[in-house]
Amino acid sequence: MKVAIVKYNAGNVQSLTFALNRLGISPTLTSDKEELASADKVIFPGQGEASSAMRSLESNGLTSVLKGLKQPFLGVCLGMQLMCEFSEENQTKCLGILPIKVQKFESAELKVPHMGWNTITDLKGQSFKGIKENDYMYFVHSYYVPISVYTIAQCNYGVDFSTAIHHRNFYAIQPHPEKSADAGMKFLDNFLKL
């Protein structure tokens, strides 16, 4: 199976690569449009800040390429947020794959960023096969994707928000599956089997 990880200088891809290696996959890290288009699966990781990540995608000519992909596509963490229409982080116009506005956690009581292990609930679809309600996953984020018709799992941190979303061939998850122990590895394995 040919798995491509999108290279755009906004992802910590090493731990994701190791996780895929444990599942028997040797992914290709690439920003090459043809390699991305011909891959069986595409993973779009991300960490850092939305506007600089979008600038990097644009400078690599990847925005229209990613939106046009037809194979199973997985956005992770910031990658999930960039799949939305807009982010409150530096008022950033994102890819617009999903008509959703990413919002900032606003809480006087809770620490932002939301960092550490939290339970996931309301799990739907093949992505969560073999993962239990209230299993734990590992989160690091200050912005969140609100609940919508695309939500296939959720979490609560002062507010209910989307742990994972799905629209057509596009899937995304907010926590880092590669850092989320058995549940995260199962999620990645499920994605590879879509």
Residue 175 · residue 139 · CB < 8 Å: yes
What Å distances lie between residue 70 and 36, 39, 53, CA to CA?
10, 10, 22
Residue 59 · residue 8 · CB < 8 Å: no
Is 58 a known active-site residue? no
Q: Which residues of 86-125 are buried (b: 16+ CB within 10 A; e: fewer)?
A: bbbbeebebbebbebebbebeeeeeeeebeeebebebbee
d(CA 105, CA 92): 16
Which residue out of 77, 84, 94, 155 is catalytically annotated? 77
Beta-ladder partners of 44: 75
Is 176 a known active-site residue? yes
Which residue out of 114, 141, 166, 176 is catalytically annotated? 176
Tokens 């449009």, residue located: 33
Is 178 a known active-site residue? yes
d(CA 100, CA 90): 16
For the annotated catalytic residues, the residue numbers are: 77, 176, 178
